[in-house]
């Protein structure tokens, strides 16, 4: 079972075509491939999962709580600003997690300045583009090795 779980929230399947001025032109597949490669080189198993459904993301967290997952890296996307349910799932899991945003949400609309996750997260990375995922993974790998 994967020791690390990377969760991507709604609309992140559209990376590469979605608002490239904000999110860039790197696809989700490219991000996931890079993360899998980095984890593989470190001998750590990593699984990536994207969903546009809040329920599916919650189920993935419930499963992670009991299947040996050690860390979660999550970009909750728009659910960052809306989802108490997803927050509660992470809290219930008691898994350490890192919150990642491709864009600098604090430099955007006021409704993006609020996160239901940041106060529970071990760390938050935003505004580093897709590289934010790699920075978070690098930190997690240094913690578990
Ligand atoms: C995002 C920022 C969110 O506000 C937005 O809803 C997203 C992506 C980011 O990665 O910058 O979908 O989480």
- Count Cα atoms within 13 angstroms, Cβ side, for 52: 5
Residue whose CA is closest, atom 3 of ligand 1? 77
Q: Which residues are annotated as catalytic? A: 23, 101
> In a mutational test of the pocket of ligand 1, which residue from 22, 101, 135 has the highest number of ligand atoms less than 8 Å from its CB?
101
pLDDT computed for residue 11 by the predictor: 98
CA-108 nearest atom, ligand 1: 4
Beta bridge pairs of residue 99 = 74, 124
Look up the pTM and report it. 0.97
What is the Cα–Cα distance from 100 to 18, expressed in whole angstroms? Answer: 17
pLDDT computed for residue 2 by the predictor: 63
Other Cβ atoms less than 10 A from the Cβ of 28: the count is 18
Residues 6+ apart with CB under 8 A from 145: 42, 44
CA-22 nearest atom, ligand 1: 11
What is the Cα–Cα distance from 98 to 139, expressed in whole angstroms? Answer: 10
In order of 1, 14, 88, the CA distances from 121 in angstroms are 23, 25, 12
Render 27-74 in DSSP notation, one character per residue: -HHHHHHHHHHHHHHTT--EEEEE-S-HHHHHHHHHHHHHTT--EEEE
The pairing of beta strand 71-75 with beta strand 4-8: parallel
Determine whether the shortest distance from the Cβ of 102 to ligand 1 is under 6 A: yes
Q: pLDDT digit of tens for each residue in the chain (145 aa)?
A: 469 999 999 999 999 999 999 999 999 999 999 999 999 999 999 999 999 999 999 999 999 999 999 999 999 999 999 999 999 999 999 999 999 999 999 999 999 999 999 999 999 999 999 999 999 999 999 998 7
């Amino acid at each position: 079972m994967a020791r690390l779980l990377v969760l991507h929230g709604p609309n992140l399947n559209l990376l590469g075509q979605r608002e490239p001025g904000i999110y860039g032109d790197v696809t989700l597949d490219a991000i996931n491939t890079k993360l899998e490669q980095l984890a593989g080189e470190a001998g750590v198993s990593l699984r990536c999962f994207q969903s546009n459904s809040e329920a599916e993301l919650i189920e993935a967290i419930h499963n992670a709580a009991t299947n040996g997952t050690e860390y979660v890296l999550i970009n909750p996307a728009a659910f960052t600003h809306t989802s108490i349910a997803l927050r509660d799932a992470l809290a219930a899991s008691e898994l350490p997690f890192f919150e990642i945003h491709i864009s600098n949400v604090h430099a955007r609309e006021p409704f993006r300045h609020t996160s239901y996750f940041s106060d529970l997260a071990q760390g938050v990375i935003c505004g580093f583009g897709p590289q934010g995922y790699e920075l978070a993974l690098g930190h997690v790998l240094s913690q578990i090795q």
